[in-house]
């Protein structure tokens, strides 16, 4: 019985030690870009980059220790955060923001939300081959999807204005809008409109 107790104790101790080491390592591998002002609520993304957005009171832009500032440009001007990457491989950048009002993505960029954003207004502009997976609860949502860009939306909105060049690239399966207004292209068939407005 003593041997079993000792074995169990050492196993639990080793698991706790390994877990805390992994957490420290994970935290050590993430670096905050201190030169970025934290008052942005708009994000412009281009190139070969993946942005992971989190709504949080603790704002900031975080990169891993292998971040190459010569190939990936990150700056803020006014209320907009600009990110553009010319790196060969996809660069992942984590962005924490209190209030998000606009996402603009182009090139082969990818934008995803890690949690459900709760915002008053949200605009999403996608072009070229950009992809976005956004979860939000908002009063007003405005989406523009052009070229080969793809949008997957979840959450809800009181009002939604949609402009899209190709409805096949838009998924609203987990999205509910009280009122949807489609502009700038031919009317949708009733079954597609019902899927958007449900």
Sequential DSSP letters for the chain: -HHHHHHHHHHHHHHHHHHHHHHHHHHHTEEE-TTS-S---EEEEEESEEEEEEE-SS-EEEEETT--TTTEEEEEETTEEEEEE--SSPEEEEEEES---EEEE-TT-EEEESS-EEEEEEEEEE-TT-EEEEEEEEEEEEEEE-TT-EEEEEEEEEEEEEEES-GGGEEEEEEEEEEEEE-SSPPPPHHHHHHHH-
- Statement to judge: residues 65 and 147 lie in one domain: yes
- Statement to judge: residues 89 and 172 lie in one domain: yes
- Give me the pLDDT at residue 171, please: 95
- Statement to judge: residues 16 and 59 lie in one domain: no
- Statement to judge: residues 118 and 192 lie in one domain: yes
Higher pLDDT, 110 or 182: 110
Q: The domain containing residue 99 runs over which residues?
A: 33-197
For the domain that residue 71 is a member of, what is the CATH number? Answer: 2.160.20.120
- Statement to judge: residues 80 and 20 lie in one domain: no
4: its two tokens: 């079993």
CA distance 172 to 154: 6
Average pLDDT of the segment spanning 26-42: 75
88: its two tokens: 């060969």
Instruction: Give the number of other CB atoms < 10 A from CB of residue 137.
Output: 16
Give how many domains the chain has, as a whole number: 2
- Statement to judge: residues 13 and 81 lie in one domain: no
Q: For residue 121, is pLDDT > 90?
A: yes
- Statement to judge: residues 20 and 70 lie in one domain: no
- Statement to judge: residues 18 and 44 lie in one domain: no
- Statement to judge: residues 138 and 89 lie in one domain: yes
CA distance 97 to 26: 21
- Give me the pLDDT at residue 31, please: 82
Write out pLDDT tens, residues 62-117: 998 888 989 999 999 999 999 999 999 999 999 999 999 999 999 999 999 999 99
- Statement to judge: residues 177 and 128 lie in one domain: yes
- Statement to judge: residues 17 and 99 lie in one domain: no
Q: For residue 46, is pLDDT > 50?
A: yes
Q: For residue 42, is pLDDT > 80?
A: yes
- Statement to judge: residues 107 and 152 lie in one domain: yes
């Amino acid at each position: 019985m003593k041997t079993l107790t000792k074995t169990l104790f050492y196993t639990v101790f080793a698991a706790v030690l390994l877990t805390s080491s992994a957490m420290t390592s994970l935290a050590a591998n993430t670096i905050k870009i201190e030169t970025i002002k934290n008052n942005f609520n708009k994000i412009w993304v281009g190139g070969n980059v993946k942005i992971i957005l989190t709504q949080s009171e603790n704002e900031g832009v975080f990169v891993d220790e292998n971040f190459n500032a010569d190939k990936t440009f990150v700056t803020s001007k006014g209320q907009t955060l600009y990110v553009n990457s010319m790196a060969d491989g996809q660069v992942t950048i984590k962005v924490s923001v209190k209030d998000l009002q606009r996402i603009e993505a182009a090139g082969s960029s990818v934008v995803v939300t890690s949690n459900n954003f709760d915002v008053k207004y949200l605009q999403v502009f996608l072009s070229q081959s950009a992809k976005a997976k956004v979860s939000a609860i908002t009063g007003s949502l405005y989406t523009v999807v052009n070229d080969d860009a793809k949008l997957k939306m979840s959450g809800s909105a009181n009002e939604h204005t949609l402009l899209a060049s190709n409805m096949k690239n838009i998924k609203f399966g987990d999205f509910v809008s009280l009122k949807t207004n489609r502009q700038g292209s031919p009317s949708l068939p009733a079954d597609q409109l019902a899927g958007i407005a449900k």
